[in-house]
Structure 1
């Protein structure tokens, strides 16, 4: 009997220890319990060109609808326009019932009730805010104001600004240690990450970034590491989450490295990183930093977030208007869900809808789901790049389209022109759409607006029969060189 009792105790202890070891997904603590996927959970995407937030039920990977925060162009050019512009960043409250959505063009944070999908408050902050996150105790919301030199700190209940934390110009994003002790703020304009004490907003540490442009930062659930991405140089860096905040590792992850997040399971803890220029998600162990998987995902992966139990991770495809569900046990894509235009930040919120179906105040995709996809290929031959190095999305705004090109495989730090050419090989008369300079990784995100689809998409050529072709050429003063990328047939 004693042996039987001891065996039962040992089995119970083993179960508790194993649950504790595997539990806790970002941004929470490893001590938190896992939350199995259910119809109460929601996956959200902030969509920059349709000015919408898409809502997905992860239990069946179904789009519920969108929350429309603003209108597409050119309606939002009006001086009387009151909606939001360039919906981009996203965070949520510790009780999982409030979504904080940043619009960089209208300098706002919209606070949305996850049960009703209703906007309950809008706070306007400084120029070009980027991301908003609640502190783990829910008392404050920190917003990186990337167009200025501070973090705007809001009261977590009233959503009114209470103070500002001075940082180097261009703070990119902030995240908190799972215990709520530290706030980590990386920069998009300066090669410096600052660490603050959350209780008194005092600077307690600094770290030199390998390059200036950090778009995303995340802390591991065990509270030991902080990872941040560098979009300009295609690197990801890891530093210790506690003093002296020493740099641990620098990884070469690829051009247009976007977001990073974590999954804990029975095999360990893993960092998932979206790499836009390669159209991949790369997976690394956090103990020895070995890359263990490369997942092909589609055009320009951006935001990424794990489910409450880590069994799935969700990825927004910026140039494909889609959300992918990846099974983390196999690292395979298991679902593709159509969503709005140019998804940026992604958030998975367990128990976001405690009751009912949570469909109130939503709309169908409508024009937000209309997009034309093209690609450009190198004139150097297919051997230079096994896949098309540049993907192009033409997001329909009604009368016009917003063009977004994810350009790679060019000379680093060189000036180029994206143009319309008269002939498929890039020759003949040229009409410039946008000039740009590549980053140190030879990549760039290029935007233009106009009636572009009508002349470049084979099935959309206008009634006059005019046809033009997208081309990328090097810029040499007032002149251009020979085409380096041309529109794929």
Structure 2
């Protein structure tokens, strides 16, 4: 029985690899995991409309109270091969929530170890594998019983897990250890250790033909390419740029390409997927491009803007942004799910986006030199969540984000220290948006100063 089952899975995988490209349809959906609002945004990719959001928990800061119910820091997304189930991973509540894509209703949830990050279903749909980044294992979940069935110990800090379309191998990069693990899905054993160029990898993508794995390195601003089949060696290391986030692989009518989101530069870089990848385009986007996924036919790539609460759409024929859709606050992971809704509008159990919570996005520029920063201010009611992502600063140096008044008075709102590459991010909560958008005479501005000596380094762009 077991042998016949494996043979059937192999045949199914082979058929999937040879299946024709499926054009976008009315039942397709784009989803984003919105970390601050604790929602999942649901988008119709054909009409480019936000259909609504699925609320999984209270918004920050209410969610910072004792968390007896609801999810916190909704961050990761995966989906079943039949498109009927969405898995939403919440870092703060250590959980994965199963959502019915036809009704947008929660089917159930499973609580896991510390800080799970991303999850994905096996190609046969029988298991959900969750990368538990705060620990050293992948949790294997039975999605029917909604129970953990085993743990696979790997290098500390697994960031994501995806599978070869043939179902044989799982690939798990690390966010704390410079090592990507390859797991045999039949034995649940690690069969290869692939050296990462640096420790922090949050994301990877597997090519539709099962030949390549691309994985990003957020700490060093690199993207690496490896063989998806034995002997699993790295074939290319690309300098993609500061705060390299996610990668989407698109088989387009014009060729096979990789789309890499580079948050520190507010661009998506496009590379060929041949033996020696070449940069063919650098596409300007809104603030802090993060999640990325290609449509099934490769004609569009969808990008989540962490700093602007939007999804932007890239046309792969022109490599230009051709549309945008609003989302919940701080969108992180993004997935494109073909055939998520089989019949009807698929809008049940959705709530409208709160238009009063629109994000304010600001750019900070250097008085001299290449430094830059993006600041997003997410309204949370009486207070706001302020996030800064800065690049090009002096390495390993302490800085302070300040509010500067028209009278010359300054107020410190966040401190941060740059990495050895001069990159930093920080968050703080406070009543900031009103101060930044008040009358011309009372409006305050943002600046970044050195903690020691207080020299101004970055100022708010006009």
Q: TM-score, normalised by structure 1?
A: 0.88
Deviation at 1:257, TM superposition (A): 0.4
1:7 aligns to what?
none
- Larger Rg: 1 or 2? 1
Distance 1:258 1:103 in 2: 18
Distance 1:306 1:212 in 2: 26
Match of 2:137 among 150, 172, 190: 150
Deviation at 1:376, TM superposition (A): 1.2
Q: TM-score, normalised by structure 2?
A: 0.93
2:190 aligns to what?
203
1:311 aligns to what?
299
Note if contact 1:418-1:471 (Cα within 8 Å) is conserved in structure 2. yes
Deviation at 1:480, TM superposition (A): 4.3
Deviation at 1:159, TM superposition (A): 2.3
Distance 1:80 1:444 in 2: 29
2:10 aligns to what?
none
Match of 2:394 among 389, 408, 411: 411
Deviation digits for residues 85-107 of structure 1, max 9, x if unmatched? 11110000011100000111111
Return closer, same or farther for 1:480/1:124 CA change in 2, 3 Å cut-off. farther
Distance 1:369 1:338 in 2: 11
Deviation digits for residues 423-471 of structure 1, max 9, x if unmatched? 59xxx55433222222343222221111111223345x9xxx7654322
Deviation digits for residues 170-224 of structure 1, max 9, x if unmatched? 1111111111111111111111111110111101000111111101011111111
Deviation digits for residues 107-146 of structure 1, max 9, x if unmatched? 1111000000001011111111100101111111111111
Structure 1 residue matching 2:113: 3-state secondary structure: coil
Distance 1:69 1:53 in 2: 8
Match of 1:327 among 315, 322, 329: 315
1:353-364 alignment runs, 5 A limit: 353-364=341-352
1:474 aligns to what?
450
Deviation at 1:31, TM superposition (A): 2.0
2:7 aligns to what?
none
Distance 1:67 1:314 in 2: 19
Structure 2 residue matching 1:76: 3-state secondary structure: helix
Return closer, same or farther for 1:29/1:277 CA change in 2, 3 Å cut-off. farther
Structure 1 residue matching 2:322: 3-state secondary structure: strand
1:39-78 alignment runs, 5 A limit: 39-78=26-65
Return closer, same or farther for 1:29/1:250 CA change in 2, 3 Å cut-off. farther
Distance 1:374 1:480 in 2: 25
Deviation digits for residues 387-440 of structure 1, max 9, x if unmatched? x8211111011111111112112123322222233459xxx5543322222234
Distance 1:107 1:225 in 2: 31
Cα RMSD between the aligned structures?
Answer: 1.8
Note if contact 2:406-2:442 (Cα within 8 Å) is conserved in structure 1. no
Gaps of 5+ in 2: 1-14
